[in-house]
Structures are given as C-alpha cells and as structure tokens.
Amino acid sequence: MSISYDTMSLIQYILFGEFGLLTTVPSFLFKILFPIITSFYLLQAFLIESNFLDMLSSRLDKPLGKIGLSSNSILSFFLGFGCITVALGSLQLVKLQKRERRIAEALLCITIPCSAQLVINTILVFKVSPHYLLVYILMILFLSLLIGWLLNFLFMPGKQAERSFHKRVRLQFPNTFLLIKNSFLLGVRFLKETAIPFAIGNVIISVLSFFGFIKALCQLTSPLICNFLHLPEEAATIFILSIIKKDLGAASLLAIFENGVFTPAQIFTCIVMLTLFVPCLASMIVLFKYEKFLFSMNIWFSSLILSILVGKGLSLLLMLP
C-alpha cells in the first residue's frame, strides 16, 4: 500500500509539482520559447536573404584577423546561435585552414550559447534585471575576443588566416510572406525537437528532487558548488544536465528560478557559467569525429576550468552569500 502511495505521489509530483509536465513544460514551450525562437529564425532568414550578412562579412574580414579568423567562418558562428553541433559540422564544409578551423571550433564550444540557451538566458536576465543583459553580452563578447586573441598569438602558432575576397552585393528586401512562413515552420520543428528533451529534463529534476538525490548530490559537490562558488545546492543538477544537453541545464535553471531558490546575483552567475560550461554531448561527438582526441578534450577541460574561474570571480564581485 505504501509503495502504491509513493508511486502515485511521484506521478503527481512529476505532472503537477514544481517542474510539472502539465504545468511548467507547456507554459514554457508555447508562451515563451516558441514566439522567441520563431523571431530568431525570422531575423536569421532576413539577414541571409537580404545579403546583409554578405555585406557584413566583407567589412569584418580584417578585424576578425586579430583573433585568427576570416569572414569565411562568420556563417558558422551565426549558425552557432542556433545549434553549436550544426555550426561545428558546417565548419568542415567551408574552405578554412586547419588553424582557423580549430580556433573557430574552440570559440563555438566555449563562448557561444545555442538558440535554446540564448532564449532562456535572455528570459532569466530580464526576469532578474534588464541591466544584467548588457553586462552579460559585454562579458561574453570580451571573453570571446580574449580567448580568440590568446589562441591566435599564444597557443596556436602558425600561418594567419587568409583574407577572403567578396563580390559586391546589393542590399535587397526578401519576400516577407516566405520569410514568415519558413520561420514559423522552423519554429514548429524546433519546438518538436525541444519538447522531448525539455520534458525529460523536467522529469529528471522532479525524480531527483522527489527522492532527495539533489541533496545527496549537493553533499558530494558542496565543496565546489556550495562553498567555493556560493551557489544553491540545486545548481549541481543544472550543471550535470548541461553536460548532456545545454538547453536541459538552462531550462532546469528557469524552472528552479520560478521557485525563488536563487538570488538575482546567483542567477546571473549561473547564466554566465552555463554559457561557458563544457560543450554538450552532441557537440563533443562531432568534435571527436573531425578532430584529434587530445584537442577535443583540451576544449572540454578548458571550458570547464574557465567556467569555474569566471563563476568564482563573479561570486566575489557580487558578494554572494
């Protein structure tokens, strides 16, 4: 009888609890994620179809040389804001030197948030304070430029990226109806792909919370998460889920935020750390496919160490309790 009761309690908690499948999940997917991601696809399509991206590439070619890149890699970075795994794959299709490709791979894996993570980060930052958004953008931009510069001049000696030659293109206004239609369809497809991982993430969090695994996990990681970084115990689960899929960790952070567990400063620290945190499993698989094992693991451990160090720096600056 007690087993049946516990089973029913668990099912009820999964469906209607703090991270409920019938409460939190539909609200997030349809009220928040879908409209924002569709808008992102609309902007992306407009920039490409209007030739604005080509015009931008020709002007950024020389500045990108400072961090070892050329304008040939711009589209891959733009794709990275949709999906890092796709962006890593696209780098193999572009004519790039090995050195430039590796710098681009490192920057994509370490500093660029995917679309789902970017959307959730934006939502969380606005919920905390709009002022944090500017700080977040400037921090990630600064770290991207710093890492690119270090890789270009210190850690990856070799021939500089060759400058690209661009044809003159005119700015044109694309078909509005087709843009909206294609963006809507892409948004629907993204929603279908995201719904299952997001639901799985919420179920995992619910089960872990119900059986007390979050507290057990905190005891194991408390020297790092709780004592060193001054973050709540729930942060341990968020980072573990991020190793599997970045949007799982970000979505879990959003769900936990609604419960008021984190302070605004702790939320901001987690957002920055999750952005810099290790590449997801799918991205690592692509890296292992195209790059040597040692180089791929260097990226993984570098992003882990950078995330922890930046998190510690923010905890000191923001005087987390």
Domain spans of the chain, in order of start: 19-317
Find the range with the poorest average confidence among 2-6, 27-31, 101-105: 2-6
Distances in Å between the alpha carbon of 249 and those of 52, 67, 192, 252, 286?
33, 30, 18, 5, 20
**Pairwise CA distance, residues 309 & 139, whole Å:** 14
Question: Stretch 21-32: mean pLDDT, rounded?
Answer: 77
Distance in angstroms (rounded) separating the CA atoms of residues 221 and 204? 18
pLDDT band at 94 (very low <50, low <70, confident <90, very high): confident
Report the pLDDT value the prediction gives residue 269, as an integer from 0 to 100: 92
Say if residues 121 and 140 touch (Cβ distance below 8 Å): no
Average pLDDT of 294-298?
Answer: 93
Q: What one-character DSSP code corresponds to residue 156?
A: S
Whether the predicted pLDDT of 161 surpasses 60: no
152 or 244: whose pLDDT is higher? 152
Q: Rounded mean pLDDT of 212-224?
A: 75
**pLDDT over 90 (residue 49):** no
Res 211: pLDDT? 83
Q: At what angle do helices 130-150 and 98-111 cross, to 10 degrees?
A: 150
pLDDT at 23 over 90: no
Look at 31-40, 76-85, 120-129 and tell me which has the smallest mean pLDDT: 31-40
Distance CA 316, CA 258 (A): 25
pLDDT digits (tens, 9 = 90+) for 191-215: 777 677 777 777 877 787 788 776 6
pLDDT value at 163 more than 80: no
Q: What is the pLDDT of residues 239-265, one digit of tens each?
A: 887 887 787 787 778 777 777 778 888
**pLDDT value of residue 158:** 62
Residue 5 pLDDT > 50: no
Mean pLDDT, the chain, whole residue set: 81
Determine what percent of the chain is predicted with pLDDT higher than 70: 90
What would the two tokens of residue 134 be? 């500017």
Residue 1 has pLDDT above 50, yes or no: no
d(Cα 163, Cα 152) in Å, to the nearest integer?
A: 15
Band of residue 237 on the pLDDT scale cut at 50, 70, 90: confident
235-268 CB burial, b ≥16 within 10 A, e <16: bbbbbbbbbbbbbbbbbbbbbbbeeebbbebbbb
Contact 247, 197 (CB under 8 A): yes
* pLDDT number for residue 215: 67
Instruction: Output the pLDDT for position 102.
Output: 92
Alpha-carbon distance 98 to 104, whole Å? 10
Least confident interval from 71-85, 135-149, 270-284: 71-85
Instruction: Name the more confident of 283 and 282.
Output: 283
If one compares 277 and 215, the residue with the highest pLDDT of the two is 277
What number is the average pLDDT over the span 305-312? 94
Confidence of residue 48 (pLDDT cuts 50, 70, 90): confident
Q: What is the pTM of this model?
A: 0.75
> What is the pLDDT, as a whole number, of residue 107?
94
